[in-house]
Amino acid sequence: MKKVKLNILGLSYSQTQTGAYALVLSEADGNRRIPIIIGAVEAQAIAIQLEGLKPPRPLTHDLFLNVALAFDIEIVEVFIHKLEEGIFYAEIVCEQNSNRIRVDSRTSDAIALALRFECPIFTTEDIIEKAGIIMEFDESGEVGEEGDDSEMIKKSKVKHIDYSEYSSEELNEMLEAAVADEDYEKASEIRDEINKRKP
């Protein structure tokens, strides 16, 4: 069975399911993409790791990482091995003292852990054939794909507040407050504005 390596392309609001997000995985050596619908909590766990944010208290996936490291357990890879009735099934391949164990997992949790352990994500050629779509970019840089709901997989961020009007000091205070409140979406937007001002 040929394995296909995947990269995380991005997260966006799902245009098809209210309150859900689309996690888009991209084929490492190709142009096919897999959109996976996940919940808001799982999206947050993935987003804060992608954005490099540090929550004041460890989230569930951070706790898992800390426990695994304490017991010398390493996650070697995440393998999305089955697609059934639109649901993706994954397993986490763990290693401890040269013993390899496969643990069943929701795909969103497995990917959140893959980010924390910095391990590769794989799927099968069969799943890529079934669920993969080819994304095309027009001249404006917008994502488009013939025959699919391309809005679901746009890699875009919705700005709720114009942070450009605030001073750097105010932004840093707002960032600290957002992280303390565990509002990671807001924290991400503020951090983006801070980064835009760096020389």
Per-residue pLDDT of the chain (199 residues; tens, 9 = 90+): 789 999 999 888 776 667 788 899 999 988 899 999 898 889 989 998 988 888 888 889 999 999 999 999 999 999 999 999 889 999 999 999 989 999 999 999 999 999 999 999 999 999 999 888 876 544 444 444 433 433 333 333 333 477 787 888 888 888 888 777 767 777 777 887 888 888 7
Q: Does residue 59 lie in a domain region?
A: yes
Q: Are 135 and 142 in contact (CB under 8 A)?
A: no
Determine how many CB atoms are found less than 10 A away from the CB of residue 100. 9
Continuous H helices in 4-158: 40-51, 60-70, 107-117, 125-131
Residues 50 and 88 in one domain: yes
Residues 108 and 168 in one domain: no
Q: Are 30 and 38 in contact (CB under 8 A)?
A: no
- Give the DSSP letter of residue 99: E
Domain count for the chain: 2
Q: Does residue 158 lie in a domain region?
A: no
Residues 11 and 46 in one domain: yes
The CATH number linked to 70 is 3.10.690.10
Q: Which pair of tokens denotes residue 121?
A: 């994500």
- What pLDDT, on the 0 to 100 scale, is given for residue 90? 97
- What pLDDT, on the 0 to 100 scale, is given for residue 165? 79
Q: Which pair of tokens denotes residue 124?
A: 């099968």
- What pLDDT, on the 0 to 100 scale, is given for residue 196? 82
Q: Supply angle C-alpha 47, 53, 59, rounded to 5.
A: 75
- Nearest C-alpha neighbor of 107 from the set 86, 125, 135: 86
Structural domain including 53 reads: 3-153
Q: Which pair of tokens denotes residue 91?
A: 């397993």
Distance CA 179, CA 173 (A): 10
- Per the DSSP assignment, residues forming a β-bridge with 84 are 87
**3-state class (DSSP) for residue 117:** helix
Q: Does residue 68 lie in a domain region?
A: yes
Amino acid at 32: R
Distance CA 132, CA 26 (A): 9
Please state at what angle helix 168-180 crosses helix 184-196, rounded to 10 degrees: 160
- What pLDDT, on the 0 to 100 scale, is given for residue 56? 84
Residues 81 and 179 in one domain: no
- What pLDDT, on the 0 to 100 scale, is given for residue 139? 43
Q: Does residue 103 lie in a domain region?
A: yes
